Amino acid sequence: MSVTVSGAPGALGERDLRRLAETVAFARDRSAGDALAAVVAGEPPAPVLRHLEFAGAAVLVAVAQPADLIGVLADLGVRAGEPRPSAVPGDRLRERAGQGRDVWSVRGVVSGGSREVELLAVPGTMWSEAEREAESSVAFDVTGEDDVLLRGVCATLLDAGLTADGGGYDEHVTVLHFRGAGRGRLTLRAPGHRTEPLARHVGRPDRVRRTMLDLMTGAWRTRAVAAAAELGLADLLAGGPLDTAELAERTGSHADKLRRVLAYLAALGVFRRDGERWSLTAVGAMLRTDVAGSQRDLARIYGGLFYRSFSGLEHTLRTGESAFVHVYGAQPFEHFAANPADARLFEGAMAAGTTFLELVPGLLDLPATGTVVDVGGSDGRLLDLVLTAGPGLRGVLFDRPHVVGAAAEALAGHGARASVVAGDFFHDPVPAGADLYLLSRIMHDWDDERCSVILRNVRAAMAEGATLAVIERPIRDDPRTVLPLAFNVHMMVNTVQGGERTTEEHRRLLAANGFALQDIRELPLDMAVLVARATA
């Protein structure tokens, strides 16, 4: 490239001159979508483009005399103003370089338009060629003075792969910098001094450390919630606020120590604090024993029995063996048989985790008449809900002999419409000829080989075209859906063969055993009903 520099021959090196010419062309010719796509290294998030105007581009160059750049820009069709000390970009660049030398800004408007080109001028020895290349940036003006809008734009850009990288005020404009996933950087300019969005944005570099610290201290939250559940604090506060001293007296706790835990849980949203008085939030109320869907037993078992079993996670990773067995010396159901108190806690916790079952009948396309078989139906709660929703249906619960007694009591209200059959779904024939079969939270207890045995036994009982509804927590493609991934680890730790499966793994397992997965119907807490048909 040949560029004649008016009055300042050799003001820029060849590479800087090339970068500058490319930046001018980029600012002049590219659309806002093109400019954003260059930074995010992919398809730009369309919704955010409605709130952004492509304002220009910037490039970092090495020059001895910043005033020489005015002539360079003029030769490229840019009307430039006088150099001035760079404000926000300069502070960021000086901090990054660890040097106190000045950074100058030379700005100009590209001829034939309104977009700007900015040259950030630094001494020639301050930044390498590669570092200067990486500092190329595009600038967008945010069209609006609403802080909520600005926060939304920032969140969308971060979700698109950009990284927050400082900001500040440039006269009457708030400037927010992002490091791009593709070409260089992006700068957002918003009118006025936007104190809260700036503080949120500038604080993001610390959020990486804060996020890791939050992850590492998750055990503290688990144990604090479990302690509150064990002490029955939510039940004591059910009638209204109480002060620290009274709670300490009623629970036999040390007042000062209890206050610390209450303050921590209040910060987490479990309790509400008014001086020395404490009350329940909607979250904290879930620890009451007398509310629908109480999670008190879940808190106790996650912070107690299963908390201890998770100490064997590394053992599982290194040996492939069950952490639960490593910690307790027995498989889970053997442990529960020998420890009745733990068994009762487990049963209460499992019941607390099934409130979503109330929504299942509405997702099953229940026939007006016919028969439903709940395979491994445990306490009968799901079948009870199904028979209530379908008054013309008959129901059969099939489970092990020591379980069906309790299930019979739960189903007694349906009279002759409900029956129980004792058997083992690994070895015994499943009741045949029904229109709908249920497998609720069964498959995640077993590996593919054992699940195949269950599915084949169920399929042998079914006519072609009959329906199987599998209720599980499938692992989704969306990485933000964390619960199935967490429970996948939980099952690895606390069972011998269990684990959650991806949707595709469910599909393949069903297909290998005579079923075609036809639909997935969403439930709360990332649960789902996987609807399959028996095939030839």
Helix axes 244-251 and 255-267, enclosed angle (nearest 10): 110
Q: What is the DSSP letter of 388?
A: H
Q: Go through 66-82 and write b for each residue having 16 or more CB atoms within 10 A of its CB, e for each that does not.
A: bebbbbbbbebebebee
530 dihedral zone (left: phi>0; alpha: psi -120 to 50; beta): beta
- Give the Cα separation of 501 and 498 in Å (integer): 10
Let me know: does 373 contact 438? Beta carbons within 8 Å: yes
Calpha distance 383→385 (Å, rounded):
5
Q: At what angle do helices 448-461 and 503-511 cross, to 10 degrees?
A: 50
Q: Running DSSP on this structure, what letter comes out for residue 229?
A: H
CA distance 181 to 40: 5
In this structure, are residues 517 and 463 in contact, taking their beta carbons and an 8 Å threshold? no
What's the 3-state SS for 97-125?
A: HCCCCCCEEEEEEECCCCCEEEEEEECCC
* Residue of 177, 414, 444, 506 marked active site: 444
Contact 532, 470 (CB under 8 A): yes
| Cβ neighbour number for residue 269 with a 10 Å cutoff | 11
Tell me how far apart the alpha carbons of residues 496 and 517 are, in angstroms, rounded to a whole number.
27
Give the integer Cα–Cα distance in Å for 457 and 77: 79
How many alpha carbons fall within 13 Å on the CB side of residue 292?
A: 4
* Residue 512 identity: A
- CB contact set of 332 (below 8 Å; sequence gap of 6+): 324, 494, 495, 496
| Whether residue 177 lies in the annotated active site | no
**52-62 vs 116-122, strand pairing mode:** parallel
195-202 and 204-216 helices, crossing angle to 10°: 60
DSSP string, 288-345: -TTSTT--HHHHHHHTTHHHHHGGGHHHHHHH---HHHHHHSS-HHHHHHH-HHHHHH
Assess contact for 62 and 135: CB atoms under 8 A.
Answer: no
Any idea which residues carry the catalytic annotation?
A: 444
